[in-house]
Structure formats: structure tokens, C-alpha cells
């Protein structure tokens, strides 16, 4: 069986893809089309690209209903449902808060109480009118801003993997920045893709967010997989051993961390993931992971868990009984620097 690996930069991160099959040109063509789809999603959903559909909505939707592409409309419908399912912890209208805290620029800073209150008044999916008959979007308050950063990458990966399946690919793994991974089938000679979740870094303010990466398990000795693993080695040191190893087959895994982009203020670390319900940085968890059938939803739900904390695991499983997840919280004293709660995932610490 032939393995083909591809990579491309989009959405301010690196996407990597490994496919297995019997015909290299067909694998190459399918992989390139999948990566092209990610670029198409980026062009449509990016908040920062002038002329993107989302940028156009943010500029005009407070004045009149704006007709959008059916795919974007469906994604916003999904975002509305996720907003309801997470009790408001996931909200794509969080843009004014992101800007208020300075996370749209090179350096963040705490906002004044007045600026924060003004931004909070412009956040809420209840202020977005979606008309399915006309496929239009209207903001009911001036100054609203969509930010699809917590769902767009997962959606792009899901669309790309669907293209691979439509092309007849049955064995593939695609990840974006190692924070969301989606799979088809399993690699040769294995029953699943085994994916490792890294331990939280000891200093969240100075370290990048803990990634999800194909795990250094014996079943994954194939050197092709190491192309997708970034820093993972075949036999990692003990201090790099994964927090958990998750088998994936026709499923996705997303990992979110609060301090990937952060700043220090008043002796506290302020992370870039904001709780739309309070307007402040999410503080209920250091790290959260979700395993689910949809990469669109796993991306959004892992972000929501940073605000919901451990209680969010059971909340999410009320509507998605097969959902698996874990939450890493600060330790309650003693030798352990953190504590982990998991549902359906075997934790190694």
C-alpha cells in the first residue's frame, strides 16, 4: 500500500495530510483538492481577509439583511445550535470582545470597565437574525462582529475529509496545527489512528498551546506518521509522554488550550480564549479535548469546555451521548500541578 503526504499553510497554521491507497497519482490529486478546499474556506470565513464573506457581513449586516452562500449560512445555523447546546459558552459573535482585549493585534491588554461593557452589549447569537428562506444574515445591534476562529478550522477540515471520502479515499489523517485532527478508516496494520494529547505546559504564559498529535505508540512506527507529529518522536522522553492516547477511526479530535496567545496583567495570565458570557478570559480549564464525529463541532466544543470546565462534559453529553472528552484543571494543592476529568478517554496520569 502506498502512502502520500501533503502539507500546506492556511488559516495561519500548517495543515498536514497522510493518505494510503494503491495509486499514488489518485492519492495526490485527492489530497491536493482537499487542501484547496481548506484554502477556499479560509477565503470565505476569515475575519482578517478583505473581501471575505465574513468581513462583508461584519461591514454591512447591521444595516440590512445580507445574502450569503448556503454553506456559510449552514455553518452559522450550526453555530447557533452550538451556542444553545453550550449554554452560551460558544458564541461566534465574540469578535467585539476579542478586539476589546487586544487579541486582534500583536499585544493584548485588559480593557477598561466601560469598554468591556460596551463590547459585551454587542455579543450574543440572539442578536443575529438568520432567514433560511432568503439565506440572509442580519445583525440586530450595531457594532457586532463574527469571529469564526473557534469553528472555521474544524469546518474546513471536515469539508476536506468529505472530499477525500467522495474521491474513494478510505485511509487518511488530516490535521490543522495539530489542534484538530480528522480521520478516515485506519492506517495499514492498525485498527485505528492512535493520537496523543500532550500534557499541559508548566508555564502557560510562556509556552504554546498543548497540541494533539499522532501518538508515539508501537502501532504507529510508520515513519510517514512522524511527518504529521511535529515534535513527537518514536520513543519520547518520559516528560513528553502523552496525557492520553485516543484511537480514532472515522472521527475527529480537537484540543483547545487557554494560553496559546496571552499576556500578564496584575500577576495573572490572560488567555486569548474569552468566555462570551462574562467577557473575561476563560478560566475553568487549562486544556480541553473532544472526540466526536464532526470536526466542525469538536473544534467548537473543545473551546467551549475551557469556559464550562468539568461540568461541561456532562452538559455536552446530554445531547451527544457518544461524545468523549477531557478537561485539565489546576491542581488543588499537593504534588499534582493539575487534575484531569475525562469521559470515555483513558488518561495515563
Cβ contact 195:180 at 8 Å:
no
> Which range (143-152, 190-199, 215-224) has the least confidence?
215-224
Per-residue pLDDT reduced to its tens digit, 233-281? 233 445 567 889 999 999 999 999 876 677 777 777 778 899 999 999 9
In a domain, 45, yes or no: no
In a domain, 44, yes or no: no
| Host H or E run for residue 327 | strand 324-330
pLDDT on residue 267: 77
Interatomic CA distance for residues 339 and 140, integer angstroms = 42
Give the domain CATH number at 205: 3.10.520.10
Percent of the chain residues topping a pLDDT of 70? 86
Interatomic CA distance for residues 324 and 320, integer angstroms = 9
Instruction: Give the residue numbers spanning the domain of 102.
Output: 60-139
Per-residue pLDDT reduced to its tens digit, 8-60? 999 999 999 999 999 999 999 999 999 999 999 999 999 988 889 999 999 99
Among candidate residues 116, 139, 162, the one where a domain is terminated: 139
Sign (positive or negative) of CA dihedral 45, 48, 53, 57: positive
Q: What is the pTM of this model?
A: 0.89
In a domain, 249, yes or no: yes
Domain identity same for 262 and 164? yes
Per-residue pLDDT reduced to its tens digit, 106-123? 778 889 999 999 999 999
pLDDT on residue 270: 78
Amino acid at each position: 500500500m502506498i502512502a502520500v503526504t501533503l502539507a500546506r499553510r492556511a488559516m495561519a497554521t500548517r495543515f498536514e495530510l497522510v493518505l494510503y491507497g494503491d495509486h499514488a497519482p489518485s492519492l495526490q490529486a485527492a489530497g491536493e483538492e482537499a487542501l484547496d478546499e481548506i484554502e477556499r474556506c479560509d477565503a470565505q470565513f476569515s475575519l482578517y481577509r478583505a473581501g471575505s464573506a465574513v468581513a462583508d457581513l461584519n461591514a454591512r449586516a447591521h444595516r440590512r439583511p445580507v445574502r450569503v452562500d448556503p454553506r456559510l449560512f449552514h455553518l452559522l445555523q450550526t453555530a447557533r445550535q452550538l451556542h444553545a447546546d453550550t449554554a452560551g459558552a460558544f458564541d461566534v459573535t465574540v469578535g467585539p470582545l476579542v478586539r476589546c482585549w487586544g487579541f486582534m493585534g500583536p499585544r493584548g491588554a485588559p480593557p477598561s470597565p466601560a469598554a468591556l461593557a460596551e463590547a459585551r452589549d454587542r455579543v450574543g447569537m440572539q442578536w443575529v437574525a438568520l432567514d433560511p428562506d432568503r439565506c440572509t444574515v442580519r445583525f440586530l445591534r450595531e457594532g457586532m462582529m463574527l469571529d469564526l476562529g473557534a469553528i472555521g478550522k474544524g469546518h474546513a477540515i471536515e469539508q476536506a475529509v468529505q472530499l477525500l471520502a467522495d474521491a474513494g479515499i478510505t485511509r487518511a489523517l488530516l490535521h490543522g496545527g495539530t489542534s484538530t485532527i480528522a480521520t478516515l478508516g485506519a492506517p495499514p496494520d492498525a485498527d485505528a489512528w492512535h493520537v496523543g494529547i500532550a500534557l499541559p505546559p508548566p508555564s502557560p504564559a510562556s509556552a504554546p498551546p498543548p497540541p494533539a498529535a499522532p501518538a508515539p505508540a508501537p502501532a504507529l512506527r510508520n515513519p510517514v506518521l512522524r511527518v504529521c507529529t511535529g515534535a513527537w518522536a518514536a520513543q519520547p522522553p518520559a516528560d513528553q509522554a502523552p496525557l492520553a492516547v485516543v484511537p480514532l477511526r472515522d472521527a475527529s479530535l480537537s484540543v483547545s488550550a487557554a494560553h496559546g496567545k496571552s499576556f500578564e496583567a496584575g500577576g495573572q495570565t490572560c488567555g486569548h480564549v474569552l468566555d462570551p458570557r462574562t467577557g473575561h478570559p476563560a478560566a475553568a480549564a487549562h486544556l480541553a479535548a473532544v472526540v466526536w464525529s464532526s470536526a466542525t463541532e469538536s473544534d467548537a466544543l473543545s473551546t467551549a469546555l475551557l469556559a464550562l470546565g468539568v461540568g461541561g462534559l456532562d452538559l455536552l453529553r446530554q445531547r451527544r451521548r457518544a461524545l468523549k472528552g477531557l478537561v485539565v484543571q489546576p491542581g488543588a494543592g499537593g504534588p499534582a500541578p493539575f487534575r484531569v476529568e475525562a469521559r470515555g478517554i483513558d488518561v495515563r496520569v
